Copies of this chain bind each other. A is one copy, B any other.
Amino acid sequence: MPWEKTFDIDKATDKATEVFWKKGYEATSMADLIDAMQINKGSLYNAFGSKKALFDRALARYDQQNRAAKIAMLRQWDDPVAAIRALFDGLIDEARGDPRNMGCFIINTAQDLPNQPPEVAETVRQSLGDIESFFHEMIEKGQAKGQIPATVEARTTAQALLSMLVGLRLLARGAAGIPALEAIRDGALRLVENA
């Protein structure tokens, strides 16, 4: 067997991710992708098969590398309230350092769910479901430790927190400044610490 491959398929996928992330599926052309990925059209179709397949791979990889990894880290913190705060702080820091206002690839895609195939919808729902579960677990852990009032309803509060995270990420795309994002984080924490 000769010469397995030359370009890094994961690095190329990451380049594609950036484009899909910023512009969305429909507004991204193959020309855009080829420009960004710096590989030839033939190589692209040989390696990924189609635009849609590339999108699926890009989304899945973003979900693993960015979203899931971050959540998994925080899940094993000792202080559950601090973990929730750290999650929001991380998103605010990301917004602060991003003049292009990319937001979150998963949430951008969630906004477009009615126009996406079922498999994409499933990926997005699982991803958001995992965030909600994180909130749920942290709340229950905080209640076990006496940090969070037992009167806080874990499931519904987790759903409310998810909506604030989603709102923060969307507003970070250009509609709100950093102070507003901090206000959202403070509101989220207030929801956790009061009954």
Q: Mark A90-120, 1 if CB is under 8 A from B, else 0.
A: 0000000000111100011011111100000
Cα(A102)–Cα(B112), bound, Å: 10
A187-B113 CB under 8 A given contacts A174-B121, A195-B194: no
Interface residues of A in 143-195 (CB under 8 A from B): 155-157, 159-168, 170-171, 173-176, 180, 183-184, 186-188, 190-191, 194-195
A113-B101 CB under 8 A given contacts A155-B183, A183-B159: yes
Q: Mark A124-137, 1 if CB is under 8 A from B, else 0.
A: 11001000000000
Chain B residues with CB below 8 A from A175, complex form: 110, 113, 124-125, 128
Chain B residues with CB below 8 A from A173, complex form: 110-114
**Chain B: CB-nearest residue to A132:** B180
Protomer copies: 2
Chain B residues with CB below 8 A from A191, complex form: 187, 190-191
Query: Which of A125, A176, A195 has the most chain B CB atoms inside 10 A of its CB?
Result: A176
Chain B residues with CB below 8 A from A155, complex form: 183
Verify B160–A163 contact, CB threshold 8 A. Answer: no
Verify A187–B24 contact, CB threshold 8 A. Answer: no
Chain B residues with CB below 8 A from A67, complex form: none
Cα(A107)–Cα(B27), bound, Å: 18
Residues of chain A touching chain B, judged by Cβ–Cβ distance below 8 Å, are 22-24, 26-27, 100-103, 107-108, 110-115, 121, 124-125, 128, 155-157, 159-168, 170-171, 173-176, 180, 183-184, 186-188, 190-191, 194-195
